[in-house]
Amino acid sequence: MATIAVTNVRRTFGITPEIYFHKPIDNSRLVRIEDPKKKREMAILMGVLGILLALFLVFCWQHYRAIEYGYRNESLRQERDQLMQACRHLQLEEAQLREPWRIDELAHHMGLQAPVAGQVIRLEGTTPGGLASMMARATAVSVISAAR
């Protein structure tokens, strides 16, 4: 006589209960037949998915590089602004150091005096207003031989 095992009984609100019976199924003797058409379809699907994955990865890489370039541009822009600010500060400091009254005050503090007439010697070819253009002159070259 066969015995029936009841594995799960579930009651549902006044309706007859659902009963599930355990039935062992042995599929070890089944052999799967290869289908070349399905195999080809799966290969094509995997190829298409591989191409889509490669395209997605290229898109992600480009997006990442664009974000990285944006951060790099912003940091370079900030560095440029800092350098321009430092340049303006240095130009202002240079202008303050070149003030004639400051140089005169430092000269008097060190004991220097303004030159008297006759102390200033002007080089030939210069004018009091600035440098004049002058042609270069070639002088004769003399060769001195060393006696041994």
**What are 61-105's pLDDT values in tens digits?**
999 999 999 999 999 999 999 999 999 999 999 999 999 999 999
pLDDT digits (tens, 9 = 90+) for 116-127: 888 888 777 655
Q: Is 20 helix (H, G, I), strand (E, B) or coil?
A: strand
Q: What is the pTM of this model?
A: 0.45
Q: Looking at this protein, which amino acid is placed at residue 90?
A: L
**C-alpha closest to that of 17 among 27, 9, 25:** 9
Q: According to the model, what pLDDT value does residue 84 have?
A: 97
pLDDT band for position 12 (cuts 50, 70, 90): low
Residue ranges per structural domain of the chain: 46-111
Q: According to the model, what pLDDT value does residue 117 have?
A: 82
Q: Give the distance, in angstroms, between the CA of residue 89 and the centroid of all CA atoms in the same chain.
A: 28
